[in-house]
Structure 1
Amino acid sequence: MMPTLGLKASTSRKQIDERLQYYPSVFEFYTDAHDVTPAGLAHLEEMVKYVQSAGIRHIVIHHPMAYDHHHNDVAVSALKDPAGYQFMMSSSEALIGLAIKLNIQVLIHGGYSEEKPVIDAFGDLKSARKMIFARLDYFQKIGGEHVMFENSTSPAFDYGDAGLENTVIEHGYRLCYDISHGFIVLHGDNDKLVQSIARLAPQTVHYHFVDSMGQHHDSLQLGKGRIDWQRVMQVVNPKATNIYEIDLADQNDSREMRASHQYLTHLIATQNKA
């Protein structure tokens, strides 16, 4: 697979314009809680149309990661945190509705919380996963080809876990595979990472390319971590889209994402000449 230039930004016009000057093929919106208010949704729709007017067809909206200083987690207890549950459901439904209207994609993250909060909420990991899959089934039913689900470093929804991957495959989900998340879950094991990516490739429609040392969530520029990108690129789905989800020194400057694209493009070009 030859990667495309995929960039990420908030709904800030300044950030969007900075990204658009480099003519990305894929654009992903990072949203927050304000973006799913009535005013925020109206602005988000305007910004999506603005990006579309630049000729970009592949647009993804990443659901809000946080609500009221807490993770916006699919694994939220409706009984113990009704406000959090209501936000998670209503924001996801609103974004799916917008995606259908504008013919774009919504990315819903399968989990954020570490194991203890999940178990505290549901009693055990098995029960938490059962609830997560029920909710993802619902989002898939209403979103169809406009919704995808991203893996986490949380045991609630972590690619690299064979049991969870089996269930994901059985449910036929459209997937976003965050490469660094898989690497962290597998404790920096490139062999197991490649196996996981290959196994889920037929259902993967979008990738987050981001490097890592494999110990914790570090969101490194490609080439700065320990992921074997030559091997990874041999097993990804060539029909999928991608962005570079890298920590930026300045949110108004996408240079670390663009440098990652240059690194990966050069790596593959060199490999093809060998």
Structure 2
Amino acid sequence: MKFMRLKGNLDQSNLDNRLRYNPNIIEFYLSDRDLQDPDLIRNRIRQLHDRGVKPYLHHPPNYRGEYLDILSENPHIRQFYHESCELLARICMEERAKCIVHAHYVHTASSKNVTRERTVLLREEIHKVMSYSQEVFVWEDSTEGLFSYGRNPYLIDDLIVPLELSLNVDVSHTFISFGGDNERLREVLERTSPYAQYYHLVDSMGQKHDSLPLGQGRIDWRMVKPFVLEKDFIFEITLSGDHSDCTPMVESANYFDKV
């Protein structure tokens, strides 16, 4: 099957489920606990290479239950953010993988206070993380805040362009940040195309983070498809239960193939 690009976790049963579909790409969604066992992360990456699958890692979203923010005033969050990025940079460089990272998540300080000054401050902090590796990180946008295309008018010109920042564009996050406007989504896809290396493909009604299978939301996938075809991407669909069954991702890949 075409476009088998899937997301999972490090559990062997979870990985075995994805490998049944002979995927091109698998993205491992990591937790802060996973980083306590770097050898397991390396083992899973090597399993993918042995099967000819391209590996991506996803930086943990939180630390001890608190969502990450690169500008957090909590020194423990800031320390974990940098130490985890440094560790994952080393793993990715040695094991030939890439890593998705968020500058911040919603419900953090950076999701609320959007100014040009704070955008420059964010740029300086991201530049520090880039010092761990210029090659492995791709930066994902949020639905709110400083690293949101629909909420921060300074993001592209004052942060992405000066850093020549490698991006992971989450199509649904961008769509939601503009309140479900496909034309504004198209504009962002055009402007970020020189920097975007990777995409998360997931549908949405455009009002909240609903993570729908492709075809169940309002995103114009016929418009999106030409922007992503020659790049890496996965289908990042919310799964039920223990997330072991990736059928909604497979169905989304089939939908995308027919668009």
Band the TM-score falls in, shorter-chain normalisation: over 0.9
- Indicate the RMSD between aligned Cα atoms, in angstroms: 1.8
Q: Residue 64 of structure 1 aligns to which amino acid in structure 2?
A: P
TM-score by length of structure 1 reads 0.88
Cα distance in 2 for residues equivalent to 1:153 and 1:252: 27
Cα distance in 2 for residues equivalent to 1:162 and 1:82: 28
Whether 1:60 aligns to 2:53 is no
Whether 1:88 aligns to 2:81 is yes
Change (3 A) 1:4 1:169: farther
What are the equivalent positions in structure 2 for 1:157-236 lying under 5 Å apart? 157-160=147-150, 161-167=152-158, 168-234=160-226, 236=227
Cα distance in 2 for residues equivalent to 1:179 and 1:164: 16
SS at match of 1:155: coil
> Which residues of structure 2 form unaligned runs of 5+?
none
Q: Does 126-135 or 140-149 show the bigger shift?
A: 126-135
Whether 1:69 aligns to 2:62 is no
The aligned residue for residue 260 of structure 1 is 252
> Which residues of structure 1 form unaligned runs of 5+?
268-274
Is the 8 Å Cα contact of residues 151 and 176 (structure 1) preserved in structure 2?
yes
The aligned residue for residue 119 of structure 2 is 129
Shift, 1:47, TM fit: 1.1
The aligned residue for residue 23 of structure 2 is 24
Is the 8 Å Cα contact of residues 205 and 239 (structure 1) preserved in structure 2?
no
Is the 8 Å Cα contact of residues 202 and 237 (structure 1) preserved in structure 2?
no
TM-score by length of structure 2 reads 0.93
Cα distance in 2 for residues equivalent to 1:264 and 1:87: 37
Is the 8 Å Cα contact of residues 111 and 144 (structure 2) preserved in structure 1?
no
Render the CA deviation track for 1:188-222: whole Å, top value 9, x for unaligned. Answer: 00011011111101111000000001111111110
Structure with more of its chain in helix, by fraction: 1
SS at match of 2:234: strand
Shift, 1:127, TM fit: 4.3
Q: Residue 136 of structure 1 aligns to which amino acid in structure 2?
A: I
Shift, 1:242, TM fit: 0.5
Render the CA deviation track for 1:6-62: whole Å, top value 9, x for unaligned. Answer: 10111111100110110110110100011112xx21111111111111111x21110
Shift, 1:124, TM fit: 6.2
Is the 8 Å Cα contact of residues 204 and 217 (structure 2) preserved in structure 1?
yes
Cα distance in 2 for residues equivalent to 1:132 and 1:98: 25
Cα distance in 2 for residues equivalent to 1:16 and 1:124: 39
Shift, 1:136, TM fit: 1.5
Q: Residue 43 of structure 2 aligns to which amino acid in structure 1?
A: E
Whether 1:44 aligns to 2:23 is no
In structure 2, which of residues 221, 230, 234 is the aligned counterpart of residue 239 of structure 1? 230
SS at match of 1:28: strand
Cα distance in 1 for residues equivalent to 2:198 and 2:164: 15
Cα distance in 2 for residues equivalent to 1:243 and 1:75: 28
Is the 8 Å Cα contact of residues 119 and 125 (structure 1) preserved in structure 2?
no
Shift, 1:98, TM fit: 0.5
The aligned residue for residue 272 of structure 1 is none
Q: Residue 130 of structure 2 aligns to which amino acid in structure 1?
A: Q
